[in-house]
Amino acid sequence: MTQLLIDQLHDTLLEALGLAFPDLPKNEQHIEIGPATSEKFGHYQCNSAMRLARSLKQPPQKIAEAIVENMDRDGLESIEIAGPGFINLTLHPLFLSNRLQGVLKDHRLGIPKPMQALKIVVEFSSPNIAKEMHVGHLRSTIIGDAIARLFEYLGHNVIRLNHVGDWGTAFGMLIVYMREEVPKVLGGTQRADLSSLMHWYRESKKRFDTDPEFKTRARLAVVELQGGGEKALKAWKFICDVSRSSFQEIYDLLEVKIEERGESYYNPQLAPIVADLMKRKVAETSEGAKCIFIEGIDLPLMIEKSDGGFTYDTTDIAAMKDRVDHEKADRVIIVTDSGQSLHFKLIYEACIKAGYLDPKKLRFDHVPFGVVLGSDGKKFKTRSGETEKLIDLLKTSVKQAHAILTEKEHDLSKEEIDDLSQILGIDAVKYADLSSNRISDYIFSYDKMLRFEGNTAAFILYSYVRINGIKRKANHVDISTLSGKETISLVHLTEISLGLHLLRFGEVLRKFADDLLPHCLTDYLYQLAGKFNLFFRDCKVVGSREESSRLLLCEVAAKTMKQGLHILGLRTVERM
Ligand code: ARG
């Protein structure tokens, strides 16, 4: 079983600490280790001597010295104490070479299997029926898909859920309007698309607000729908189907797989849950409504309105409970805009209070993200002022990628350019989103995201193509035979630096799994491309004495880059 470099060093340091200070109670957390701030100082750095000074009643310098004296130096080239007691560790090139050789042969690229596969619910995308998906849903889809792919790759059991907004009083209004104004649509003899649904929705809302009789009919339709009335259900299903096929078009373009489990799924569970919460006095009546108050937060959750209707809050409590009870989830992750952070904090606290969720057994993360801005710094809109339709936005990116690729000097056929622009256009949108810190707002710019320089999809893809170009140039060797008989030997500084970076892939993925920040992985890939370019600048590959070793290094670099991009949901190309 492979161990991550960082864990191996951690254990070595911990053992040395135990030998140096046998009276200190054993505690994993006594040793903390991270990558060195600069490769000038070494590969990894441990600052624990400073933190242990107080409990050991000794100066950090002394503690560091004692640890170093007791350390097993296997695999290390140098150990240095710097400043007040930093321990800088530099790994031996031979050791790194051997480790990398192991990665080359491992289909998991040296990433340890999880001790136990966890059941992880990743809820993302979640648009609303009878409404267009907007850029917020695009962010949720891209980020959520990357998170789901990450856990799948790590070897966990992932369920991807689309919590679509498919239930609520608004459907009563829309159904009545459609019955009265466009009966042929519901009758199945006239076609409809999402735009027409949205139009009817707006019209029905207008009528609802001005015509009291219409309002009554709409309310009755809601009762009919919630009571399971066949005709109302049929109309509702039709509306959902039309919306669904328009969402699917986007998922297909993005190559995102997701299982729909919308709000309506939880409908039968709502009344019993509210009754349970009331009975156990977790909820109370306040101004005619049933609410849950959480200490320290002014806003309560409203689980039943005074008219008896259930809410977004009720559904989310039911969803959480369902994921605990039926899905037996170890982890639940929900990806939405940061505007819903307070909502999910309330849901989480309420579920703990009700005993529906045990925080020791289940980890819940709301994964918030910022808004998408236009280049003017305002909320992203199209020129006409309407919120941009998602599908158009993606198609524009593909079109612009096409124009850029056509202009570039190349020897690609028309078909190749078509395929390439499809991949690059979509990759660019995804990468731009994932590479910005998800918590901040991000500026949407086709120009920026389609550049070939800087931290962009095009740059990374191009680097990947270059690595493959080298492998292609060496057409006299077969890489898979080569890896069976030749070894990697890291000698040049740029080789060592690249090799070390490749060995850190698992470390980065683990961090991503913990903080759920995709930009850590894009940063890693960007650095990988940079380190590869330095290596390629300084080290001749094909035709050199070190050809075999270097080709194998290229192979690990290519595999790692491809895998990293795959986790982010980006497609790679072999030529560009
Ligand atoms: N449909 C909601 C929206 O468009 C997002 C749903 C998020 N998930 C949840 N469990 N509430 O804003």
Tell me, yes or no, whether 338 lies in a domain: no
Centroid of ligand 1 to alpha carbon of 178 (angstroms): 25
For 108, 260, 464, 496, the CA distances from 479, given in Å and listed in that order, are 18, 43, 16, 21
HEC letters along 451-496: CCCCCCHHHHHHHHHHHHHHHHHCCCCCHHHHHHHCCCCCCCHHHH
Quickly count: other Cβ atoms within 10 Å of residue 3's Cβ: 13
Q: What is the mean pLDDT of residues 180-200?
A: 92
Centroid of ligand 1 to alpha carbon of 161 (angstroms): 11
Per residue in 521-569, pLDDT (tens digit) is 999 999 999 999 999 999 999 999 999 999 999 999 999 999 999 999 9
Quickly count: other Cβ atoms within 10 Å of residue 39's Cβ: 14
Centroid of ligand 1 to alpha carbon of 327 (angstroms): 19
Ligand 1 touching residue 336 (CB < 6 A): yes
Q: What residue owns the CA closest to ligand 1's atom 10?
A: 316
- As given in the structure block, the two tokens for residue 232 are 């109302």
Are the beta carbons of 36 and 44 closer than 8 angstroms? Answer: yes
Q: Which atom of ligand 1 is nearest to the CA of 164?
A: 1
Contacts of 194 (CB under 8 A, 6+ apart): 130, 132, 242, 243, 246
- Chain position carrying tokens 């390439």: 420
Q: In terms of Cα–Cα distance, which of 280, 314, 270, 569 is closest to 431? A: 569
Tell me, yes or no, whether 120 lies in a domain: no
Q: If residue 304 lies in a helix (H) or strand (E), which one and from where to where?
A: strand 301-304
Tell me, yes or no, whether 410 lies in a domain: yes
Ligand 1 touching residue 316 (CB < 6 A): yes
Question: Domain boundary residue among 64, 91, 118?
Answer: 91
Are the beta carbons of 17 and 58 closer than 8 angstroms? Answer: no
Tell me, yes or no, whether 75 lies in a domain: yes
CATH of the domain at 47: 3.30.1360.70
Centroid of ligand 1 to alpha carbon of 276 (angstroms): 24
The pLDDT assigned to 308 comes to 87
Residue 418 has pLDDT above 80, yes or no: yes
Report the domain count for the chain: 2
Contacts of 349 (CB under 8 A, 6+ apart): 294, 297
- As given in the structure block, the two tokens for residue 379 are 């909320």
Containing structural domain, residue 546: 390-567
Q: Is the pTM of this model over 0.85?
A: yes
Residue 396 has pLDDT above 60, yes or no: yes
Per-residue pLDDT band for 384 (boundaries 50, 70, 90) equals: low
Question: Domain boundary residue among 66, 91, 116?
Answer: 91
Ligand 1 touching residue 126 (CB < 6 A): yes
Tell me, yes or no, whether 16 lies in a domain: yes
Q: If residue 101 lies in a helix (H) or strand (E), which one and from where to where?
A: helix 93-105
Percent of the chain's residues with pLDDT above 90: 88
CATH of the domain at 481: 1.10.730.10
Ligand 1 touching residue 427 (CB < 6 A): no
Question: Domain boundary residue among 91, 124, 156?
Answer: 91
Centroid of ligand 1 to alpha carbon of 123 (angstroms): 9
Ligand 1 touching residue 132 (CB < 6 A): no
Per-residue pLDDT band for 478 (boundaries 50, 70, 90) equals: confident
Q: What residue owns the CA closest to ligand 1's atom 5?
A: 126
Per residue in 272-308, pLDDT (tens digit) is 999 999 999 999 999 999 999 999 999 999 999 998 8
Ligand 1 touching residue 323 (CB < 6 A): no
Q: What residue owns the CA closest to ligand 1's atom 6?
A: 126
Are the beta carbons of 425 and 400 closer than 8 angstroms? Answer: yes
Tell me, yes or no, whether 542 lies in a domain: yes
Q: What residue owns the CA closest to ligand 1's atom 8?
A: 163
The pLDDT assigned to 491 comes to 97
Ligand 1 touching residue 165 (CB < 6 A): yes
- As given in the structure block, the two tokens for residue 260 are 């729909």
The pLDDT assigned to 320 comes to 98
- As given in the structure block, the two tokens for residue 387 are 């919120």
Ligand 1, pocket-test mutation among 121, 123, 126, 365, most atoms within 8 A of CB: 126
Centroid of ligand 1 to alpha carbon of 240 (angstroms): 16
Q: What is the mean pLDDT of residues 123-133?
A: 95
Tell me, yes or no, whether 348 lies in a domain: no
Tell me, yes or no, whether 151 lies in a domain: no
Q: In terms of Cα–Cα distance, which of 432, 460, 464 is closest to 448? A: 432
The upper half-sphere exposure of residue 290, i.e. CA atoms within 13 Å in the direction of its Cβ, equals 22
